[in-house]
Structure 1
Amino acid sequence: LATGDVLRFVPLPFLPERGSFAMLEESRGYLFTGRFLSSLCTYEELNPVEGGDLEDVLIYTGFMAPSQDTLNRALKRINWEEVDSILPMFGNPVHSQERVKELFARLERGLLPVAFEVNDREVVLEVCNSLVAYLRDNMEASELQSFLEEFNQFAYLEDGKIVEPFVEPESLPPLILGLMYAKGINPTLIKHTIRHFYMAGIPLTI
């Protein structure tokens, strides 16, 4: 550039679009990543000075990256030792080489925190029921009733627990999330739901 700054463009195909790329400002170590390495956070959690929780970056990337192989190829194109700050399009930045190194290491290990067998019906129901219990404790009574009335089309509940799903159990997590979006549930509760399924190792798409 005329200012003497050097910008290096790093191709990141399919993260998330075919022509995606990141841009490294070499002298300062600022990596502008677009949607790649954005984070899942609410408005109240935005903190551009200190940054946010790396778990939020992992969750967002888990939704966006089409595969672990695609992600690994992208990470190999970026030398984390040259990066002092990751500045994404959405959510909080990641500051300091130490946190950048930790983020890259965790991404390379895999997008989901635990191995999960999606055909395990009982595991899915247990995870969904623990979420329903949380929602019962944290939603307004009228909002909860409206949510559960519509959710009854997907599963039979008894004493606040899913007893018999009317769809394949692995379909329940995205159905719950989609219904929460449709009902305009508090974003903090939606984020908790996404994190709840992520930490249980259940993949989602949003």
Structure 2
Amino acid sequence: MNIEHYSIFLITTLLLVMVPGPSAMVASAQGASLQSKKAFIGVLGIASADIAFFALSATGIATLIIASSTMFMVIKWLGVLFLIYLGLSVLFSKSPAIKFDGQKTDGKAWSLYTRGLIIQFANPKALMYFSALLPQFIDPDKPLTQQILIMGFSLFLADLLVYSSYAFMGSYLAKQKLKSWAVGLINKTAGTALLYTGFKMALLDNRHP
């Protein structure tokens, strides 16, 4: 794999992962509530979903899903409904979804992992992104499997690095004992961002990946 192509792929992927979204909010929320290395389990869930999307794209299944209006619509609307549900829950919950009161809570490992997995799976835009991205960096004159493994592993590491940083940020803010109005503002912003993402996802068109 050409080192220049790989560098462009890595930078593009890092920029994509760094864009704040529902997964970043979940990682921050788990970091704030757990304030321990256990938040990394949720990050693993997010990264696992991206690897699944990557694998689908690499095997060509993503192209088939995107080409099928019915399959794409099912995935899209499940994601839209899930994000809107999360957004409304955050906005209208009596207790803040992201707590910065400095008090640690605990969570079952499977529940943390599943939440990260589901929130990332709820975004079919990632499927479209990888389906469009991979062909641009594949060198047909070099071993295909090796290139796929290198890019997949790079994506996995990028996810772990970026979302762990979001979890750490959540944990750090929780320890600062923010005032109630600041906590409320953060949660309202997070809820609004989830709703906005859901509505934007509703406008996705599989004819233009």
Could you tell me the TM-score, scaled by structure 1's length?
0.25
Structure (1/2) with the larger strand percentage: 1
Relative to the length of structure 2, the TM-score reads: 0.24
Query: Of the two, which has the highest radius of gyration?
Result: 1
Considering fraction of residues, name the structure with more helix.
Answer: 2
